[in-house]
């Protein structure tokens, strides 16, 4: 995405998609897989923040927790109850993976809200890897745990016999669309939110009268973005739990 406005009507310049460009941090030249780019740097910052919150925050293991430990315990308990409620008792052993997904997406989303920061999860490359990892994990797990009975997920036994082949085709298609929608939901929500922020900020260049209104708009969209960041992390995680439950107990 070049991010260039193709026509500057009336002299307004809008470049809302420039913020999603991947570029090197050190030196010049082409970007290889081992280059340190802004994506790499912000992912590393996210990992450092997660370690600071969860590992260093709970280091004292106080019975009466201080603030950081309290936040870490709240996040842990929240995801634990979610996994237990949705997948049942035998889904708990996948809790580390699901908690990793949740906390990484949450912290990446929140870090992207800082001014001049880069949102790694707004790139379809990042979210597609997360979603496809979930898809392959869940499918392979389903076949290991249930064998051929996993295909019972597509055979809707509560429907009349004549409809079952058509429903099976529909079910298979919707099963394979799952990673696509899973990834695009997260990437699209974040990219759209940040692009809207830049567009609203761009309105401030219209004139002195419009500028305060534009800034108020930016504040309102910012609040919405904080909410959307948290909700999208939650939705990604709970959908992962639902797909996991489908794999562990395939039934219709």
Listed in sequence order, the residues at least 6 apart from 42 whose beta carbon sits closer than 8 Å to its beta carbon are 108, 111, 112, 117, 118, 119, 120
Write the interaction track for other proteins spanning residues 161-190; mark x where CB under 8 A is met and - where it is not.
Answer: --------------------x--xx--xx-
**In the complex, least distance from residue 244 CB atom to other proteins, rounded to whole angstroms:** 14
Residue 232 and residue 105 in contact, taking contact as beta carbons nearer than 8 Å: yes
Q: How far is the CB of 81 from other proteins (least distance, A)?
A: 10
* 220 part of the interface to other proteins, by CB under 8 A: no
Count of residues engaged in binding other proteins, rule: CB under 8 A:
29
Determine, following the binding rule CB under 8 A, whether residue 191 of this chain makes contact with other proteins. Answer: yes
Q: Which residues pair with 37 in a beta bridge?
A: 24
Q: Per rule CB under 8 A, is residue 2 in the interface with other proteins? A: yes
Gap between the Cα atoms of 49 and 39, Å rounded: 15
Whole-number Å distance between alpha carbons of 180 and 122: 15
In the complex, the smallest distance separating the C-beta of residue 39 from other proteins, rounded to whole angstroms, is 19
Other C-beta atoms within 10 Å of 101: how many? 20
* Nearest to 122, CA basis, from 187, 183, 180: 187
Is residue 133 within the footprint of other proteins (CB under 8 A)?
no
Q: Which two tokens stand for residue 13?
A: 């310049």
Beta-carbon count within 10 A of 34 CB:
6
Between residue 81 and residue 110, which ones bind other proteins under the rule CB under 8 A? 82, 85-86
- Least separation in angstroms between residue 108's CB and other proteins is 18
Q: Under the criterion CB under 8 A, does residue 230 sit at the interface with other proteins?
A: no
Task: Pick from 108, 119, 232, 240 the residue near other proteins by CB under 8 A.
Answer: 232
The residue (of 204 and 242) whose beta carbon lies closer to other proteins is 242
Binding flag, residue 118, other proteins (CB under 8 A): no
CB of 92 to other proteins, least distance (A): 17
Residue 135 burial (CB count, 10 A): 19
Write down the H helix ranges in 112-163: 124-146
Q: Is 117 exposed, middle or buried (0-12, 13-18, 19+ CB in 10 A)?
A: middle
94 closest CA partner among 237, 250, 251, 252? 237
- The only residue of 1, 116, 162, 208 in contact with other proteins, by rule CB under 8 A: 1
How many CA within 13 A on the CB side of residue 221?
19
State yes or no: residue 235 binds other proteins (CB under 8 A): yes
The span of 58-66, 105-113, 200-208, 230-238 binding other proteins (CB under 8 A) equals 230-238
Site for other proteins contains 21 (CB under 8 A): no
Closest CA to 245 of 168, 159, 145, 110: 145
When binding is defined by CB under 8 A, the residue of 105, 138, 239, 244 that contacts other proteins is 239
Positions that interact with other proteins (CB under 8 A):
1-7, 14-17, 82, 85-86, 181, 184-185, 188-189, 191-192, 195, 231-232, 234-235, 238-239, 242
């Amino acid at each position: 995405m070049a991010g260039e406005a193709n026509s500057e009507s009336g002299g307004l310049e809008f470049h809302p998609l420039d913020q999603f460009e991947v570029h090197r941090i050190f030196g010049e030249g082409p970007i290889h897989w081992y280059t340190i780019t802004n994506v790499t740097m912000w992912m590393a910052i996210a990992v450092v923040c997660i370690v600071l919150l969860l590992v260093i925050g709970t280091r004292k293991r106080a019975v009466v927790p201080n603030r950081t430990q309290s936040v870490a315990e709240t996040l842990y308990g929240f995801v634990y109850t979610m996994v237990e409620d949705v997948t049942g008792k035998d889904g708990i052993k996948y809790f580390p993976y699901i908690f990793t997904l949740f906390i990484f997406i949450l912290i990446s989303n929140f870090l992207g809200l800082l001014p001049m920061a880069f949102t790694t999860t707004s790139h379809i490359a990042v979210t597609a890897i997360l979603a496809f990892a979930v898809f392959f994990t869940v499918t392979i797990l389903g076949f290991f745990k249930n064998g051929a009975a996993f295909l019972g997920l597509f055979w809707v036994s509560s429907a009349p016999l004549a409809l079952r082949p058509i429903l099976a085709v529909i079910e298979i298609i919707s099963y394979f669309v799952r990673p696509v929608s899973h990834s695009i939901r997260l990437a699209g929500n974040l990219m759209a939110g940040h692009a809207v922020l830049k567009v609203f900020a761009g309105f401030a260049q219209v004139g002195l009268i419009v500028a305060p209104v534009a800034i108020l708009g930016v504040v309102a969209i910012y609040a919405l973005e904080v909410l959307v960041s948290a909700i999208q992390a939650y939705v990604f995680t709970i959908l992962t739990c639902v797909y996991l439950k489908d794999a562990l107990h395939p039934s219709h």
